[in-house]
A = this chain, B = another copy of it.
Amino acid sequence: MYPRALSELIKAFSALPGIGPKGAERLAIFLARENEDKARSLAQAIMRLKAQVHVCRLCGMLSTSQLCPVCADEERDHTLVCVVETPADVAAMEASQAFKGVYHVLGGNLQPIEGIGPAHLNLGPLRQRLESGAINEVLIATNPSAEGEATANLLVRTFKDSKIKFTRLACGLPMGSSLQYMDSLTVSRALAGRTRVEEAEE
Residues of A within 8 A of B (CB): 1-6, 8-9, 11-13, 15-19, 22-23, 25-33, 36, 38-53, 55, 62-64, 86-88, 90-91, 94-95, 107
B6 near A53 with CB under 8 A, answer yes
- Given contact pairs A5-B51, A5-B64, A32-B49, enumerate 6 new A-B contacts (beta carbons under 8 Å): A1-B95, A2-B87, A2-B91, A11-B45, A15-B38, A39-B50
- Contacts A38-B15, A43-B43, A87-B29; is A53 near B3 (CB within 8 Å)? yes
Number of copies: 2
A3 near B95 with CB under 8 A, answer no
For A47, the chain B residues whose CB sits under 8 A away are: 39-40, 43
Q: What is the predominant secondary structure among interface residues of chain A facing chain B?
A: helix
For A86, the chain B residues whose CB sits under 8 A away are: 29
B12 near A42 with CB under 8 A, answer yes
B17 near A41 with CB under 8 A, answer no
